[in-house]
Amino acid sequence: MQFQFLSAIVSTNNETIGNPMSDRQVILRTESLSASFENKKILNDINLEISKRNIMAIIGPSGCGKSTLLRCINRMHELIYGSTLSGRIYFENKNIYDKSVDPILLRRRIGLVFQKPNPFPSMSIKDNVLSGLWLTQKINKKTDSDHLVENALQQAVLWDEVKDRLDDSSLSLSGGQQQRLCIARALASKPDVLLLDEPCSSLDPIATQRIESLLLSLKNTYTIVIVTHNMRQAARISNTTAFLLSGRLIEYGETTHIFTSPQETQTEDYLSGHFD
């Protein structure tokens, strides 16, 4: 039942976004990527391609390694004590785990939005938007940056709600607003890729819907990879979907195909609600 319902969502979604994957340029590619944490294997031999200006959803049950995969893509995984990694990830045909790649510069091109909104409490709304530029010394406190702030907040569909209180503390915002602020913060640094780790899991349905329409509006400018435990969300917004199970990539492809005619029985079982 559930399965058919999801297929229905995909078919309506597909009319508005449907773009065959083959037309698209691959921006990110993982090659036999394995990752572990204190000798516990979390990702096992992942080979995945992510195409440019596209929304990819990564789905799978809790603990399947979705978040870890995301964190490997902008080299955040290595910041955790006891983490190891093998394999390669190519970003625009360059292996990001090559010794010559500075993870700090890489993270400026691949932004990450976390599960729990984490605006900087010591900064105002405006300063939070500019924090990426400020932390990387692209601007200083004197730079005239009002247009940057407005642009980023407009893109994150937050401008109208906060334009009169840009100097207020970021903690005065609601959870959904805080999360959009974090998206604005990531966008202000003008990344090429935006990674989102279950960005709506702590939000109510209205805030979730806002973020989803925001992501759809961004997909022509950015490559978006979103981890979600919500299959309907994946069906609603993504062009391509990857299904992970216990650290293995079971299959990936166009969302329509994954949701209507999955190749693997495990995918089919998961989509029809046999897991989780």
Partner 1 sequence: MRNRNNKLRREAIARKERYIERAIFGSSLLSILIAIGIFVVLLWGSLPFFSEVSLTEFFGGTKWTPLFHDKHFGIWPLVTGTLLTSAVAITMALPFSLLASIYLSELAPRKHRQLFKPIIEILAGIPTIVYGYFALLIVTPWLQQWIPDLAGFSSLSAGICMGIMIMPMLITLSEDALRAVPSELREGSYALGANKFTTVTKIVLPSAISGIGSAILLSISRALGETMIVAIAAGQKPNLTFDPRESVETMTAYIVQVSMGDTPTGTVEYRTIFAVGLTLFGLTLIMNLCSYYLKQKFQNKYASL
- For partner 1 (CB under 8 A), the number of binding residues is 30
Instruction: Using CB under 8 A, pick the residue from 4, 39, 104, 206 that binds partner 1.
Output: 104
Considering the complex, what minimum distance in angstroms separates the CB of residue 246 from partner 1? 25
Sign of CA dihedral 273, 270, 193, 8: negative
Given the complex with partner 1, which of 53 and 138 has the nearer CB atom? 138
Given the complex with partner 1, which of 71 and 236 has the nearer CB atom? 71
Given the complex with partner 1, which of 4 and 99 has the nearer CB atom? 99
Instruction: Using CB under 8 A, pick the residue from 55, 64, 72, 76 that binds partner 1.
Output: 76
Instruction: Using CB under 8 A, pick the residue from 92, 120, 124, 216 that binds partner 1.
Output: 120
Q: Does 134 bind partner 1 (CB under 8 A)?
A: yes
Instruction: Using CB under 8 A, pick the residue from 20, 40, 105, 160 that binds partner 1.
Output: 105
Instruction: Using CB under 8 A, pick the residue from 22, 38, 62, 81 that binds partner 1.
Output: 81
Q: Does 33 bind partner 1 (CB under 8 A)?
A: no
Three-state SS letters, the chain: CHHHHHHHHHHHHHHHHCCCHHHCCEEEEEEEEEEEECCEEEEEEEEEEEECCCEEEEECCCCCCHHHHHHHHCCCHHHCCCEEEEEEEEECCEECCCCCCCHHHHHHHEEEECCCCCCCCCCEHHHHHHHHHHHCCCCCCCCCCHHHHHHHHHHCCCHHHHCCCCCCEHHHCCHHHHHHHHHHHHHHCCCCEEEEECCCCCCCHHHHHHHHHHHHHHCCCCEEEEECCCHHHHHHHCCEEEEEECCEEEEEEEHHHHHHCCCCHHHHHHHCCCCC
Q: Does 180 bind partner 1 (CB under 8 A)?
A: no
Given the complex with partner 1, which of 56 and 194 has the nearer CB atom? 194
Given the complex with partner 1, which of 162 and 184 has the nearer CB atom? 184
Q: Does 135 bind partner 1 (CB under 8 A)?
A: yes
Given the complex with partner 1, which of 197 and 254 has the nearer CB atom? 197
Q: Which residues of the chain form contacts with partner 1 (CB under 8 A)?
A: 74, 76, 79, 81, 104-108, 111-112, 114, 116, 118-123, 131-132, 134-137, 171, 182, 185-186, 189
